[in-house]
Structure 1
Amino acid sequence: MTAQRDMKEKNPWHMSGMVALAVIGVIALVTLVAVMVIQNMPLAQKYKYGIVLDAGSSHTTVFIYEWPAEKDNNTGRAEQKHSCDVKGPGISSYVGTPWKAGQTLRECMRQAEDNIPEKRRAETPLYLGATAGMRLLHMKNSSASEEVFRAVSDTLQTFPFSYQGARILSGQEEGAYGWVTVNYLDNRLKQGLRTTGALDLGGASTQISFVPQALDGGGSPGNSVTFRLYGNDYNLYTHSFLCYGKDQALRMALAHHTQSGPMAIKDPCFHPGYAATKAYSDLYDSPCVSDRKPQGAPESFLHTGIGNFQQCQDVVRTLFNFSQCKYSRCSFNGVYQPPLQGHFGAFSAYYYTMSFFNLTDTSIPLDTVKETIARFCATPWQQVKQENPGTKLKYLVEYCFAGAYLITLLTDGYNFTAETYADIKFIHKIKGSDAGWTLGYMLNLTNMIPAEAPDTPPLPYSGYVTIVTVTVFLLLALLLLVGRTFRPSCFKRSLII
């Protein structure tokens, strides 16, 4: 007992030293574990946002896009996060009450606030792009269009976003950005694959865009657009036909029937049994037909239907001019168009019309498509209403014309044949995003938004390695020190026993 007590007195490490080494060891071990856990924690992805308002001729839609703050080859990887259809008609309809054009946007813009984090709102760019409806209004009354834009801007500036202004897109921009959207959503741009053409049919205009084998139009440079996306260059053919959207084309067809100012017309593009009284002033209240209004026409005419698809197509063909072309080849109205190339995505009114007829599957032969639409046109109006109770009458009554117009535009206008018709795919959404010009527009705009630096680990790699190495060596040194200090004590204890 005396020997053991003497040994403890001669060895101050026995108690206090052991405690100190234990504390240091625990601290070093905890530090090592903490550094490794924190350094290797997954980093939260940072996102940026953008808002684009598609102010079309018939309605306005608000689209919200998000993309990682880091970009691929200077092109942000934007995806649609949310969309909201504004109640009411397009902003071009509010000529007499422009303030209403702004007020109608408030509900959807409040939804935009809910879908974008508060800390990101101030830096989120907000754009309004107006298409053919506002193009026509600007042609008709430029001061009225400016008043509408002013009212819209006043409303949008009350929201906590970075408002970048409202503008009218050119037809060329609308077609080109629609092409970008279709190919981006199919990952064709990023992977450098063969691109898909784009066919857009709105209410007041229609666009065709594709990459041809060669652009040999000579005197048609306005139909050529060059894009650089994901490090690849694309030479695009695109053309927009103002007044050849579905709604304005119908006006032109009715203008064809009423050239002599009759009191009544029989229309093959409307169902048998359909009858409605329409005002001449309303029909001709558009730059697309205003110069054709017959002199001395009565206030109104009786519009009745006879439902004949073939005759309807004959009427539709009168809307196109195929008699002149100064280029190697044309679509219609003397507009140059190179030979069709590859597959096409058709969206907007193309999709909605063909979806109504259950004809979005283009493996269905073109003759069968025509027969289906012809049977629908020949169906009495009362029966059509009974069989489609969930469809608004405004749209239902125009589907016969829309089907005949769509098919005639594709075949007679753009030169699709019974064989190449199968190259068209009618699309609404691709991977959760709506097909249309807004996503392509947003992708282009993200090139002008500075890329944000990605989150990095708390410590630089060299510092992390240094801390881990020093801590490991400290733990090893402590283990060696403990071993050298306490092993002799144990050995002496065994000798005494």
Structure 2
Amino acid sequence: MWKILCVVVTINIAAKVACLVAGRMENLNSEAIYASRTRYTVLVDAGSSGSRMFVYTWTTDRDGFANYSSLKLFNDSQGKPLVRKITPGLSSFRGSPLAVRAYISKLLDIAASEIPRSDHAKTPVFVLATAGMRLLPQNEQDIIWNEVRNSIRSKYEFEFKDSYAETITGDEEALFGWIAINFILDSFPSSSNKKKPTQGMLDMGGASMQISYEVSQDQPVPKETTMKFEFVVTELRETLNYKVFPVSYLYYGMQEIRNQYAREVIKTYQQKNVIPDNQSDIQIEDPCINTNLTVTQNVTLNASGNALQLTVDFVGKGDFDLCHNRIVPLLKVRNDCMPLICTINGNARPDVDLSIMQFYGLSEYYYSLDDVMPKDATNYRYDVIAPKVKALCAELWQDFVERLRRENPTLTEEELAERIRLKRLICFKAVYVLATIHEGLQFPKSYDKLYPVTHLRGIETQWTLGALVYILNTDHRKQLQESVITKISIAVVSLCMVLLVIIFIILIIHRERQCKGAGFGSCIERIRLTDKPDGNSTAEPDANNHSTSVSEP
């Protein structure tokens, strides 16, 4: 009985020692990495027309997992969200890359002065470019990125790797926008492993537009058209998988489609009119511009390998139907995509239950419809908006300007002038947005669950927020993997120590059995004789030891 008791006590002690040692190792590792519980991240959205810097902050639990409820924009010393914008876009430095350092410093100097100095080494900086940079050849992108990376490494103490400054794909941009919308809407559970319904996202910038939404795991969609997003429910340390369809349409942002439109209008003009080689200024009527407004635009035509530079005065005629008819062909929608739905530029998308799923329209889907959305409405309805767009396009430009002045009495003359400048293409923009929704993406005109927004629940709707949530979840998955490895190591260490103790006890019991029936002194002598190594000397029996038996022949 005492032997069993000894074994149990010894094994128990060994296991506790092993756990204490391994557990201390785990705690030291956790404490070393996550000693501070406040985190910061600097994210720069390098868009086609400008760059915007967002500084986010949040807290973590003792294991370093983000407390998502605390994730927000960091307030500067004036108590305002730390968001800054500069122009032009990063891609505009293709011919003067050395100017990039001063450009990027305008943003990061502010971040460095506002974020506590003691946290700089733990604060990552990401500079992520979108469609403006995607339009550049790779070698020109590389030159600009080298200047960005060298500038950050040489001047700041922030956490930074080369991969933190890059051009993201259009699909990544679409995915990040989808994550941002659903994060703000609390579509990702915080303390449950049961998934909630998610909503869709539309976005349009200067050079590209995006659509993104979740599809079911068993929905037959080409694998290369979907992306997987793994969300870690931090309270449960469990992962939920989402199958997302994100797509980006390069050259279909508002600036790029206007350039395409202008080139097509000039080509149509050339079919009826000869432009002399020495003439660079022409006038063309444009149904997508308000009457009594002329918009001058520089247009480059590539004909027979030669670039023709033209300065075109587009004279407004304000005709919604004619404008719409000219824009729709630019979308290049096929009609042979079954069972998928044909969309822009020969692409297709999987079907979705639009009777349930809501979509949120960002950027131009908000700004281009702002003048025609009823003030008390939050959702887009074609039967309400289309007649207002028709009236907007038919409105004389001077009447529109006067109405703008009346509706914004608090604006200074300078602010009003800038507002008027941004509205010069309002007819074109509104018609194009409608065309992308219904002819481009094939949303039925009865669909009434599209919500144009700039903010949701008081939070600015930017894809940068989704990028941060994606980055945090990537880190969380690594932490879960490391935690599993640590736990396995603890188990292995504990098992090894217990096995060593068991082996030691077995050896003792084995020795004791060898001595069974003999006196204590005799047992010790046997062990000594047995443990002698073989060699030239041999043991001789002790003549004085009367307990030694002698065999008889």
What is the TM-score when the length of structure 1 is the normalising length? 0.73
Counterpart of 1:237 in 2: which secondary structure?
Answer: strand
1:80 pairs with 2:83 = no
* TM-aligned CA deviation for residue 213 of structure 1: 4.3
**Match runs of 1:50-199 below 5 Å:** 50-70=41-61, 77=68, 78-81=71-74, 82-138=81-137, 142-157=138-153, 158-164=155-161, 165-190=164-189, 192-199=195-202
Cα deviation code 1:247-284 (max 9, x no counterpart): 11111111110115453321111111122443333xx5
Q: Retained in 1: the 8 A contact 2:249–2:344?
A: no
CA separation in 1, counterparts of 2:472 and 2:159?
Answer: 14
CA separation in 1, counterparts of 2:67 and 2:105?
Answer: 28
Q: Retained in 2: the 8 A contact 1:171–1:240?
A: yes
Counterpart of 1:177 in 2: which secondary structure?
Answer: helix
- Structure 2, unpaired ranges of 5+: 1-34, 75-80, 234-238, 276-281, 406-415, 481-553
* TM-aligned CA deviation for residue 72 of structure 1: 9.6
Inter-CA distance 444–432: structure 2 relative to 1 (3 Å threshold):
same
Inter-CA distance 118–335: structure 2 relative to 1 (3 Å threshold):
same
CA separation in 2, counterparts of 1:337 and 1:265?
Answer: 37
Counterpart of 2:289 in 1: which secondary structure?
Answer: coil
CA separation in 2, counterparts of 1:296 and 1:146?
Answer: 26
* TM-aligned CA deviation for residue 332 of structure 1: 3.0
CA separation in 2, counterparts of 1:277 and 1:293?
Answer: 25
CA separation in 2, counterparts of 1:248 and 1:207?
Answer: 14
CA separation in 2, counterparts of 1:323 and 1:193?
Answer: 34
CA separation in 2, counterparts of 1:243 and 1:233?
Answer: 31
- Structure 1, unpaired ranges of 5+: 1-43, 285-290, 453-497
Counterpart of 2:166 in 1: which secondary structure?
Answer: strand
Q: Could you say which residue in structure 2 is the equivalent of 1:439?
A: 465
CA separation in 2, counterparts of 1:306 and 1:244?
Answer: 24
Q: Could you say which residue in structure 1 is the equivalent of 2:446?
A: 419
**Match runs of 1:284-299 below 5 Å:** 299=310
Q: Retained in 2: the 8 A contact 1:86–1:105?
A: no
CA separation in 2, counterparts of 1:74 and 1:224?
Answer: 27
CA separation in 1, counterparts of 2:466 and 2:437?
Answer: 23
Inter-CA distance 95–378: structure 2 relative to 1 (3 Å threshold):
same
Q: Could you say which residue in structure 2 is the equivalent of 1:374?
A: 390
Q: Which runs of 4+ in 1 moved over 6 A?
A: 292-296
Q: Retained in 2: the 8 A contact 1:134–1:168?
A: yes
1:315 pairs with 2:326 = yes
* TM-aligned CA deviation for residue 382 of structure 1: 2.7
1:210 pairs with 2:213 = yes
**Match runs of 1:1-20 below 5 Å:** none
Counterpart of 2:156 in 1: which secondary structure?
Answer: coil
Cα deviation code 1:374-414 (max 9, x no counterpart): 21111222333343352434421121111101111011111
1:228 pairs with 2:230 = yes
Q: 1:333 aligns with which of 327, 345, 357?
A: 345
Inter-CA distance 381–62: structure 2 relative to 1 (3 Å threshold):
same
* TM-aligned CA deviation for residue 449 of structure 1: 4.5
* TM-aligned CA deviation for residue 305 of structure 1: 1.1
Greater Cα offset, 362-371 or 65-74: 65-74
* TM-aligned CA deviation for residue 436 of structure 1: 2.4
* TM-aligned CA deviation for residue 298 of structure 1: 6.5
Counterpart of 2:44 in 1: which secondary structure?
Answer: strand
CA separation in 1, counterparts of 2:218 and 2:73?
Answer: 33
Query: What letter is aligned with 1:249?
Result: I
1:49 pairs with 2:61 = no
Counterpart of 1:392 in 2: which secondary structure?
Answer: helix
Query: What letter is aligned with 1:170?
Result: T
Higher relative contact order (CA 8 A, sep 6+): 1
CA separation in 2, counterparts of 1:216 and 1:190?
Answer: 23
Number of residue equivalences: 396
What is the TM-score when the length of structure 2 is the normalising length? 0.66
Q: Retained in 2: the 8 A contact 1:313–1:405?
A: yes
Greater Cα offset, 49-58 or 370-379: 370-379
Counterpart of 1:190 in 2: which secondary structure?
Answer: coil
* TM-aligned CA deviation for residue 293 of structure 1: 8.6
* TM-aligned CA deviation for residue 160 of structure 1: 2.6
CA separation in 1, counterparts of 2:403 and 2:100?
Answer: 35
Q: Could you say which residue in structure 1 is the equivalent of 2:259?
A: 251
Greater Cα offset, 393-402 or 354-363: 354-363
Q: Retained in 2: the 8 A contact 1:264–1:301?
A: yes
Greater Cα offset, 194-203 or 93-102: 93-102
